[in-house]
């Protein structure tokens, strides 16, 4: 079989069939998925039960792996591979953690709109999130199309933000949520980086806004003015018009392109188990993402 994709949102998102992701991908499969990602930005695969190793092997087919926050936090992990992120609220034995467990901070931080690893260079390209156990209610993941959002900006605002740079800092979201227990050494491991507010997505050639909760200041503006601009752009980009909400089923695998998408998890009853795991690739080819203008 070959990859088949059906668009399920008027701007983006494709439901994909025809490829068994548990098996090594052929070069043609990789090319087909890359082409679909360039068009749709998000691909949804159902009924793809993957072991942790299979999920990691899948990600490796699309480039070097990103470990993101794992370089900063070295706490005990349920994952078999350091490159996998444990997006769950459960302990090693599968039971929900206590509500006061610091692990829940990461779950809650994931409920803020963000692009994975925008706080580093290179940042993330593809994220691949696999569902193992999901609650009956809540816990959806929402995606916002930053290309469609840019297209819909007024021309005057496009001109105003063209060439502006924003500072992205890994711990900005954590500080907002009261998680301040980081050493100076940990903070130094992930210093702030600068990204343009408007970037050109290489795969599609379309311009896209680039922001999210890791963006905390705008170069050349006061902190207050810059943050209000970032909030205004985020509010625009995450209107229902540009958002797809994915209701998880066990064995779903969703891939998204962090270069032109924001995402966030939604609230759920943290006394119920929610277990997902993520593999992420790095956007190592700097020539594939250029500043707009």
Q: Order of strands, edge to edge, in the sheet holding 42-45?
A: 4-7, 14-17, 42-45, 253-257, 124-133, 275-282, 85-88
pLDDT per position as a tens digit, 189-208: 889 999 999 999 989 999 99
Find the mean pLDDT for residues 150-161.
98
* Helix segments in the chain, DSSP class H: 27-40, 52-60, 103-109, 146-151, 155-161, 172-176, 184-189, 223-237
pLDDT, residue 71, reads 52
Residue 284 pLDDT > 60, yes or no? yes
Q: How confident is the model at residue 288 (pLDDT cuts 50, 70, 90)?
A: very low
Q: Which residue has the tokens 């009956």?
A: 136
**pLDDT tens digits for range 114-123:** 999 999 999 9
Give the separation between CA 293 and CA 278, rounded to whole angstroms.
Answer: 33
Q: Where are the domains of the chain?
A: 4-284
Is the pTM for the entire model greater than 0.95? no
Distances (CA, A) of 53 to 22, 83, 105, 131, 204: 9, 10, 26, 15, 31
Domain at 4-284, CATH from 3.40.50.620, 3.20.20.450, 3.20.20.60, 3.60.130.10? 3.60.130.10
Residues 6+ apart with CB under 8 A from 179: 102, 105, 109
- Strand 124-133 and strand 253-257: the pairing is antiparallel
**By three-state DSSP, how is residue 253 classified?**
strand
Please name every residue paired with 7 in a beta bridge, in sequence order, or none if there are none: 14
Nearest to 175 by CA among 185, 188, 187: 187
């Amino acid at each position: 079989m070959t990859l088949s994709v059906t668009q399920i949102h008027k701007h983006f998102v494709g439901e994909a069939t025809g490829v068994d992701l548990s098996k090594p991908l052929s070069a043609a499969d990789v090319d087909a998925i890359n082409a679909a990602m360039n068009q749709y930005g998000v691909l949804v695969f159902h009924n793809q039960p993957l072991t942790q190793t299979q999920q990691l092997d899948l990600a490796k087919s699309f480039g070097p792996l990103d470990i993101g926050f794992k370089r900063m936090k070295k706490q005990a992990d349920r994952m078999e591979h350091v490159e996998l992120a444990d997006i769950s609220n459960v302990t090693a034995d599968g039971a929900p953690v206590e509500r006061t467990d610091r692990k829940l901070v990461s779950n809650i931080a994931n409920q803020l709109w963000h692009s994975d690893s925008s706080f580093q260079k290179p940042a993330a390209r593809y994220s691949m999130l696999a569902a193992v156990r999901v609650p009956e209610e809540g816990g959806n993941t929402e995606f916002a199309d930053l290309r469609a959002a840019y297209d819909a900006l007024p021309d005057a605002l496009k001109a105003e933000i063209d060439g502006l740079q924003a500072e992205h800092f890994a711990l900005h979201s954590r500080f907002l949520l009261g998680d301040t227990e980081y050493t100076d050494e940990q903070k130094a491991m992930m210093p702030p980086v600068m990204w343009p507010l408007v970037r050109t997505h290489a795969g599609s050639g379309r311009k896209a806004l680039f922001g999210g909760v890791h963006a905390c200041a705008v170069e050349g503006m006061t902190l207050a003015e810059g943050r209000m601009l970032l909030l205004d752009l985020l509010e625009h980009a995450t209107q229902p018009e540009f958002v797809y909400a994915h209701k998880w089923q066990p064995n779903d695998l969703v891939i998204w392109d962090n270069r032109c998408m924001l995402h966030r998890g939604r609230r759920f009853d943290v006394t119920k188990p929610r277990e997902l795991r993520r593999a992420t690739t790095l956007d190592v080819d700097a020539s594939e993402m250029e500043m707009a203008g």
